[in-house]
Structure 1
Amino acid sequence: MSTTTTPKQAILFLGATGGCGLSALRRSLEAGHTCIALCRTPSKLSSKLPSSLLPNLKLEQGNAHDASAVASCLLNPNDPSRVVDMVVTSIGGAFSLKTGIDDANVCEKGANALVEALAAVRKSPTNATGNPWLVGVSSTGLTDAGRDIPLLLVPLYHGLLKVPHKDKRAMEDVLANSGERFTIVRAAWLTDGPEKGGIRVGVEDVAARKFEKKEIGWSISREDVGRWIFENLVEGRDEKYAGKAVGISY
């Protein structure tokens, strides 16, 4: 009986020191993929991973808003003439109900730095080739195609969370207009619980601003967001999600 295996990839993670990004990173390392992580404090990330996974992880110190720092992580460690196969960005600011968000443009700046860095490594002297799949973690409640959140959450999302969600939407626009293959992963209200499966998946064609499949859900754990990214985009590389915004929830 023949079996098929997913070719091992080189994947850059931005914002993977916790939450959704860490969940996707850990699973990618466990599957044997070569992973690069750009962190302001690399030890903060390495301390959260089993030592057995570290040989497949290249940790780089730097800021994801610095295009030169991002560019230094984009070359495939297994073939420096090419860029990485995928970039998963889950950067975000610290949010407090009392003080709001600490950086109102954190996601947009990160997306702009990524696109700028990609353009740079494709020029001399590196002249790197390849077309990475850009995966951006965002939020439900941002679509123009129609309501994708419960009615009771509308005041919260469009009121209290207006500033961080404006930033998430700006990030989405940067990735969608980059000319690269992309997928926006719009997670419902994030929780710190364990993975539990039963994920509902809504799909929007970003260019057409039209739902292909609509789902409305309340929440999802960060663990399950990372698991969905790993199973469907890292391992599955499911082309039906290319150019789409995917809303995931329970």
Structure 2
Amino acid sequence: MTTSTDNSQFIAFFGATGGCTNACLTHTLQAGFQATALARTPSKLTNMLLEQGLSQAVIDSQLTIIKGDIANIAAIKAVLTKNTFGTDHVQVASQIISGVGGTPVLNKSVTKPVTIDNPEICAQATRNIVQALTEIKAHDRPSITVISTTGVSDVKEDVPFWFRFLYHYMLADPHVDKKEMERIVTENSSSTGVFRGSVIIRPSLLVSDQNIKKGKGWKKLRVGTEENPAIGYTVGRQDVGEWIFEQVIKTGGESHFGQRVTITN
């Protein structure tokens, strides 16, 4: 389990300028954990964290921001590793939090009314993280937590009746990417995979932003599993991020390994 007093361990973040992940990163740094993050524009991430109330001193001392994008394997490796004991010893992140996602695009199409600007970004990001870890060949394996969505289960309906048209028709195309991401995560979380464990987060429709001061609080969320989902309409991004911090980062997440966790208000 990672603790805030163990500076040899750190958590790697991908998609850290996204609402859920940014809120999670903010709580992580506030609690004294060490972290790394990938950002196409590091100044944007820094400004978002400052707006969250973090000081520049905390950001400088606890967070390493690597400039790059999720298509850059070298940049991903830099986020996942630290040469803490010299060049002969590579320290790998104890946990990975990935909230990578695309921007919705409306189409004049009956069959695909909504797509995303990069239709394979979630799956591709996960493949690249797997590739990076494979090439690193580290002895220690990190866990991974990814942010997916409700509406992609093959086991049990987890979307309210009045939202099913939106999820199963309007958002069907983007959800293909989420399902593939989940498959890759699960496939690589076996005893021989690059991940020692995985947690898949399936929030209901995300609303609000990453501002942790405006959240309802993680303890007020309803949480379920794929077999017994918590069904609701919306959930705040900042509350999802706080739940991931409290239930995965602070604890190590082992009690949720292998689960698809549904989260809603």
Write the letter of the residue equivalent to 1:115.
Answer: V
Q: By how many angstroms is 1:218 displaced?
A: 1.0
Matches within 5 A, 1:26-175: 26-49=26-49, 50=54, 51-54=56-59, 55-76=61-82, 78=84, 80-97=89-106, 100-122=115-137, 128-175=138-185
Q: By how many angstroms is 1:66 displaced?
A: 2.1
Give runs of ≥4 in structure 1 deviating > 3 Å. 5-9, 76-80, 96-100
Aligned to 1:224: 239
The CA deviation string for residues 171-199 of structure 1, in whole angstroms up to 9 with x for no partner, is 11111101221110111100016311311
Name the SS for the 1:73 alignment partner: helix
Could you tell me which runs of 5 or more consecutive residues in structure 1 were left unpaired when the two chains were aligned: 123-127, 205-210
- Separation of aligned partners in 2, 1:40 and 1:134: 21
Could you tell me which runs of 5 or more consecutive residues in structure 2 were left unpaired when the two chains were aligned: 108-113
1:177 counterpart (179, 184, 187): 187
Q: By how many angstroms is 1:7 displaced?
A: 5.3
Does the aligned pair in 2 maintain the 1:187–1:220 contact within 8 Å? yes
CA RMSD across the alignment: 1.7
Does the aligned pair in 1 maintain the 2:14–2:97 contact within 8 Å? yes
Does the aligned pair in 2 maintain the 1:76–1:82 contact within 8 Å? yes
TM-score (norm 2): 0.83
Aligned length: 234
Does the aligned pair in 2 maintain the 1:82–1:129 contact within 8 Å? no
Q: By how many angstroms is 1:77 displaced?
A: 5.6
2:202 counterpart (186, 193, 202): 186
Aligned to 1:233: 248
Name the SS for the 1:226 alignment partner: helix
- Relative to its length, the structure with more strand (as a share) is 1
TM-score (norm 1): 0.88
Q: By how many angstroms is 1:200 displaced?
A: 0.8
Does the aligned pair in 1 maintain the 2:4–2:34 contact within 8 Å? no
Name the SS for the 1:88 alignment partner: strand
Percent identical residues: 34
